[in-house]
Copies of this chain bind each other. A is one copy, B any other.
């Protein structure tokens, strides 16, 4: 079986680890990673979502915080601060810096991000094929109002520095319209037996991937089950601040509204948490098959059960 998974950062990575446990070893899994929250820091290209997937599946993640490297130190960052060079709000550790240095060096040498990601994965052996959604630069900007003035900030600035403390007035994946899917992305979708949307952020993670022209269409046209898992449980995001950016695109913060946002043209199946049992009927009324199962990724086994439930729903849809 060939599985394609669209993934953001922490939620996507943890779901993928569960999926790996749920399927037979050697199952062909291609991950299409969000690059809309990539950022240039200190002249280095940082790809938070790709790295979170790579480190998580490769055994190098900081398990507690869900991103960054394990046993990390921050000497480079301290020194940069001593030079008065910021931003200080982005926590780049020494081990993490090495990844960005290698990536930046390879990009400067002319390799596309997809080739660089493949090279980095040679070390990490994540057990999946990790593809950036695009080799072209896409940067998610968030429109906010501060001190009575409306301005656009980089998604990372909104998320990490401002901690989504002000309303997101709009979310714009700058450059997405001109971006092309990275090599292998459309091919993987076309060859997939099932396509999964983990409980990643539907706006700034999955939504950004779908904003790259060709990807949404390829998924809708693939003719295979497309199953997603709700990142919203009981009207609140499981982690992160998904509700903030959902409001910006006019979507209510509940499990059914997110399914409707993806739409029946794209989504065949949708998993909501057991506390959202009531949403099942509303989602099914939209023509999307829906099941309620526990959706908290409290540990690897719980994530694996979620992955199994998603694959079972896919088979139900297929039959």
Contacts and interface: CB of A to CB of B under 8 A. Distances in A.
A85 interface: yes
A98 B79 contact: yes
A185 B104 CA distance: 33
A104 B95 CA distance: 19
A110 interface: no
A97 B95 CA distance: 12
A73 interface: yes
A82 interface: yes
Interface residues of A, number: 27
B104 A83 contact: no
A42 B75 contact: no
B101 A80 contact: yes
Contacts of A95: 75-76, 79
A30 to B, nearest CB: 23
Contact of A83 (B44, B73, B85, B98): B98
A99 B76 CA distance: 9
A122 B83 CA distance: 8
Contact of A43 (B75, B82, B101): B101
A94 interface: yes
Interface in A96-118: 97-99, 101-102, 104-105, 108
Contacts of A78: 98
Interface string A42-81: 1110000000000000000000000000000101111110
Interface in A159-197: none
A42 B102 contact: yes
A84 interface: yes
A62 to B, nearest CB: 14
A140 B79 CA distance: 29
A51 to B, nearest CB: 12
A102 B123 contact: no
Interface of A: 42-44, 73, 75-80, 82-85, 94-95, 97-99, 101-102, 104-105, 108, 120, 122-123
